[in-house]
Amino acid sequence: MRTEPLLSQADDLLARGRAENAAHLLAPIVGRQPENVEAWHRMARAHLDMGDLNGALRSATAAWQLDPRGPETLFWLSRAATELGRHREAIDAAAAACREDPGNPRLHNRLAHAQLAAGRVGDAVDGLKIAIELAGYDADLHVTLGRAMFAAGRPLSARESINRALSLEPGHQGAHRTLALFEIAMESVVDASSLAQAADEFAESMRVGPHGRVDERAILARDACAYAARVTVTWCLIFLLALGVLSATSLVAVPAGLYLALLALGASAACAAVLFRPALGRRF
């Protein structure tokens, strides 16, 4: 059976976010050809995209048993191990992949992600600096270095790294998302102590613990809702003040129902602002 067209079709499905369809397509291939390492790679990715972390690790392990020194195999083994919080295995696999293919920036980026997930910020920064000397053209490396720099308490260097990534790839979604996360983290920073706290919390947000990884999109959505709620409260107060002035000067007769509506809207928005903006340490 020729599998190349089916593997290409699986790649297309994965790129379009249809991981479950890709897994259904790949299952007969690995069933009939359990020695097909490339099919196992894609199966590992499909399971990761579906959130089936144990399935991803099983697929990556199947590939590793066939190809224990393959950089791509080690990449997926590392990714699956990271998402399960098996940090030593994830770092060891990523480091082995880098040794096998030292010029591949994707593998160095994977190693840095594994280290950040384990809380080893200093190791990630050091490794990324070396990797960027070899592959400074890779925007992903600059984004990851920016995150690591912020976690190390160096927000200006972090922004410089993100800006370098955007100069290489202006539409880089990860870079734009990271800048938004920086803004959230810096909101409460007023001195060195609060900066250190924000950096620690940002570092903690990249760790993978017993409850899995934090959803960054949920953080950004929460912050957007909080901003909208704060704006609504402000405008409600402005309108109430204006209506009060008009009523006091007898220029316009203001219905009592309008006051009640504005008070209700302002109170609801204030509750939403509190709900969507918990303590800083719970944002990440």
Cβ–Cβ under 8 Å, residues 145 and 160? no
Residue 252 burial by Cβ neighbours in a 10 Å radius (0-12, 13-18, 19+): exposed
The model's confidence at residue 279, banded by pLDDT at 50, 70 and 90, is: very low
Mean pLDDT of 260-280: 67
270 and 181 in a common domain: no
pLDDT for 226: 63
159 dihedral zone (left: phi>0; alpha: psi -120 to 50; beta): alpha
**Whole domain around residue 93: which residue ranges?**
3-189
The model's confidence at residue 69, banded by pLDDT at 50, 70 and 90, is: very high
- Choose the weakest-confidence range: 95-104, 175-184, 220-229: 220-229
The model's confidence at residue 252, banded by pLDDT at 50, 70 and 90, is: low
238 and 185 in a common domain: no
DSSP 191: S
Q: Measuring CA to CA, how many Å separate 51 from each of 19, 59, 116? A: 10, 13, 20
Instruction: Count up the domains in the chain and report the number.
Output: 2
Q: How far apart are CA 116 and CA 34, in angstroms?
A: 33
238 and 155 in a common domain: no
What is the tens place of the pLDDT at every residue in 220-240? 556 566 657 777 878 777 877
163 and 224 in a common domain: no
Taking 60 as the threshold, does the pLDDT of residue 218 lie above it? no
pLDDT for 187: 86
Residue 104 is part of a domain; what is its CATH number? 1.25.40.10
158 and 69 in a common domain: yes
**pTM of the predicted model as reported, rounded to 2 decimal places:** 0.77
Is 204 domain-assigned? Answer: no
State the DSSP string of 118-150. TT-HHHHHHHHHHHHHH-TT-HHHHHHHHHHHH
Average pLDDT along the chain: 88
Cβ–Cβ under 8 Å, residues 131 and 105? yes
Is 48 domain-assigned? Answer: yes
**3-state SS assignment for residue 70:** coil
What is the tens place of the pLDDT at every residue in 130-155? 999 999 999 999 999 999 999 999 99
H helices of 118-255, where? 121-134, 139-151, 155-168, 173-186, 192-205, 216-248
Cβ–Cβ under 8 Å, residues 56 and 37? no
Last residue of a domain, one of 189, 206, 237: 189
Residue 97 tokens, joined: 């992949």
pLDDT for 280: 39
Is 239 domain-assigned? Answer: yes
Is 210 domain-assigned? Answer: no
158 and 252 in a common domain: no
85 and 8 in a common domain: yes
209 beta partners? 212
Taking 90 as the threshold, does the pLDDT of residue 83 lie above it? yes
- Choose the weakest-confidence range: 67-76, 83-92, 182-191, 207-216: 207-216
The model's confidence at residue 284, banded by pLDDT at 50, 70 and 90, is: very low
Is 151 domain-assigned? Answer: yes
Taking 90 as the threshold, does the pLDDT of residue 18 lie above it? yes
Q: What percent of the chain has pLDDT over 70?
A: 84
- 102 φ, ψ to 5°? -65, -15
Mean pLDDT of 27-31: 95
124 and 262 in a common domain: no
Taking 80 as the threshold, does the pLDDT of residue 248 lie above it? no
Mean pLDDT of 63-88: 97
Is 198 domain-assigned? Answer: no
87 and 31 in a common domain: yes
Is 45 domain-assigned? Answer: yes
Residue among 260, 243, 239 at smallest CA distance from 252: 243
78 and 142 in a common domain: yes
248 and 161 in a common domain: no
